[in-house]
Amino acid sequence: MQPDPSTLPLLEELLMARGPGGQEHEVRDICRRELEPHCAESWVDPAGNVIGLIKGTRPSGKANQPIRIMAHLDEIAMLVKRIEPDGTLRVVALGGANPINFGVCPVDILGDRDFIPGVLSFGSMHSTGETHQGADVLSGNVNWGDVHVITRCSGEQLQAHGVRPGTRVVLSQHWRRPFRVGDAIAAHFLDDRAPMVATLQAAKLLAERREELKNDVYFVFTTQEEESNAGALYAASHLPGDATVAVEVGPVISEYATRLSVDPIINTGDQNGCYNRDIVDQLYQAGKRRGLTPQFALLVDFASDASAIMSSGVSAQGGCIAIPTENTHGYELILEGSIEACAVTLLEFLLDRGHD
């Protein structure tokens, strides 16, 4: 699959935007700017989701069966749990983050009034078993109790910046730029910025062929997927349609027999249950028609907006298409062309729905 020259600039812009769950406005603004030109309507709902509607040619009513395509805005991050007297921050995970996902690194502390720099620290490596934190680090058993953020600010200074329990702490922009590795692109937060780009590309391609589209399509970019799927659940309960497809990254792991490739992963089920068989098959056939070899995978230790919606009973049908990704929730890596492959598979899937 040939890469689109517009892919990397947009991906880099989204990667540089900070988007912890519940505070995704930097990512949201870019997403809405890119989505709006292709939609009959676009808006931000009360949950903070960005939504765009491309209308099908079939009149509204029972015969028009809208579908929701969801990619998420947020990234794994940290929350301030408490502030120590010396200005050190104690943090916990926001979403599915472990300390090893970030390592010791620069961070941005997103205060209520502005942001300040900090350093995520596990403490000194030159320690013995006498230091509990050092023992955990040396054994590779680092947990959030071993982690702190150095701010070099007093408690009063932090208060002036609006730093408090619940403040988001994210990987600094200093470490967010993508890194090319041969025919691959590596970066933190390709989950879910790469699927976002694929979804935006699918919306653009679909808008160019809207006269062939039968059913309405809602493109939904959701909030708080990594923590609770709150945005997706809100959107699904307020938008029409009984089907939802999540666009995700998919782990490249031998236990799932997935491979690093441009060929998208078609998720057949995850920890929330099995996806709808018809949608699974339709996604697979859509990829085949575009000359791809989609990969079926049962991703047991995984979840998506679509499976969360299905398991809650809000949506009757669900599916998930994923970009094959190394090091998920870490320093992630995808092949060049895999974003475009996901986009054209989505396009083919959407154009085929509703045709006899």
Q: What is the mean pLDDT of residues 109-129?
A: 85
Q: What is the pLDDT of residue 140?
A: 67
User: Could you give the domains of the chain?
Assistant: 7-75+189-352 (3.40.630.10), 77-175 (2.40.30.40)
Q: What is the mean pLDDT of residues 210-235?
A: 96
Confidence check: pLDDT of 98 > 70: yes
All residues at 6 or more sequence positions from 138 whose CB lies less than 8 Å from its CB, including other chains: 125, 127
- Give the integer Cα–Cα distance in Å for 225 and 73: 8
Confidence check: pLDDT of 356 > 60: no
> What is the chain's mean pLDDT, rounded?
93
The total of other beta-carbon atoms located within 10 Å of residue 148's CB is 20
Residue (of 355, 350, 356) closest to 55 by Cα position? 350
Q: What is the pLDDT of residue 141?
A: 76
pLDDT tens column, 138-189: 666 788 988 999 999 999 999 999 999 999 999 999 999 999 999 999 999 9
Secondary element (H or E) of residue 250:
strand 243-251
Confidence check: pLDDT of 110 > 70: yes
Instruction: Report yes or no: 216 and 222 within 8 Å, Cβ to Cβ.
Output: no
- Per DSSP bridges, beta strands 148-150 and 273-274 are unpaired
Instruction: Report yes or no: 237 and 308 within 8 Å, Cβ to Cβ.
Output: no
Can you tell me whether residue 185 is helix, strand or coil? strand
| CA 187 and chain centroid, separation | 13
pLDDT band at 240 (very low <50, low <70, confident <90, very high): very high
CA 75, 258, 293, 307: dihedral to nearest 10 degrees? -50
Two structure tokens written together for 2: 């040939």
Q: What is the pLDDT of residue 188?
A: 96
Instruction: Report yes or no: 122 and 131 within 8 Å, Cβ to Cβ.
Output: no
Can you tell me whether residue 289 is helix, strand or coil? helix
Confidence check: pLDDT of 317 > 90: yes
Q: What is the pLDDT of residue 136?
A: 63
Which of the residue ranges 133-147, 251-265, 326-340 would you say has the lowest mean pLDDT? 133-147
Two structure tokens written together for 115: 């942001």
